[in-house]
Chains A and B, each alone.
Chain A
Amino acid sequence: MADARTVILSRLLDANDPSLREAAWTDFVGAYSKLILHVARSVSGDRDRAMDLYAYILDQLLCDDFRRLRRYVADGRSEFATWLVVVAQRLCRDHNRQRYGRLRIDGANLTTAENEHATRRRLVDLIGAEVDLTLLPDQGNHDAEYSMRAGEMHKALEKELGSLGPRERLLLKLRFEDDCGMGEIAETLRLPSRFHAQRQLTQVLRALKRALERRGIVESTP
Chain B
Amino acid sequence: MTDFFNGEIVGDHPSSEELAAYLSNALPVNERAKLEAHLAACRQCRREVTSARRLIRSHASPTMRRWVVPAAAAAAVLAVVLLSPLRSARLETPSKRATEDAAVSATMPKIRIVSPASGDTVKGSQVVFVWQGVGNASLYRLTLTDAGGSAVWTRDTSDTTLTLPASLSLGKGQNYFWFVDALGADGTAVTTGTHRFTAGH
Residues of chain A touching chain B, judged by Cβ–Cβ distance below 8 Å, are: 1-2, 34-35, 38-39, 42-43, 45, 68, 71-72, 75, 77-79, 81-83, 85-87, 89-90, 92-93, 96, 103, 105-107, 109-110, 114-115, 118-119, 121-130, 154, 157-158, 161-162, 166-167, 169-170, 172-184, 187-190, 193-196, 198-199, 201-202, 205-206, 208-209, 212, 217-220
Contact = CB atoms under 8 A, between A and B. Distances in A.
B95 A121 contact: yes
Interface stretch (B70-78, B122-130, B154-162): B70-78
A123 B82 CA distance: 8
Chain B at the A interface: SS class: loop
B99 interface: yes
Interface of B: 1, 3-6, 8, 16-17, 19-21, 23-27, 33, 36-37, 39-41, 43, 46-56, 58-59, 67, 69-84, 86-88, 90-91, 93, 95, 98-105, 118-119, 145, 147-149, 177, 191, 193-194
15 contacts: A42-B55, A42-B103, A72-B20, A75-B17, A78-B20, A103-B100, A119-B5, A121-B93, A125-B93, A126-B87, A167-B40, A178-B43, A195-B145, A209-B86, A219-B83
A123 B148 CA distance: 27
Nearest to A81: B56
A190 B93 contact: no
B83 A198 contact: no
Interface centre among A78, A167, A172, A220 (most CB of B within 10 A): A78
Contacts, number: 248
Contacts of A35: 59
B20 A220 contact: no
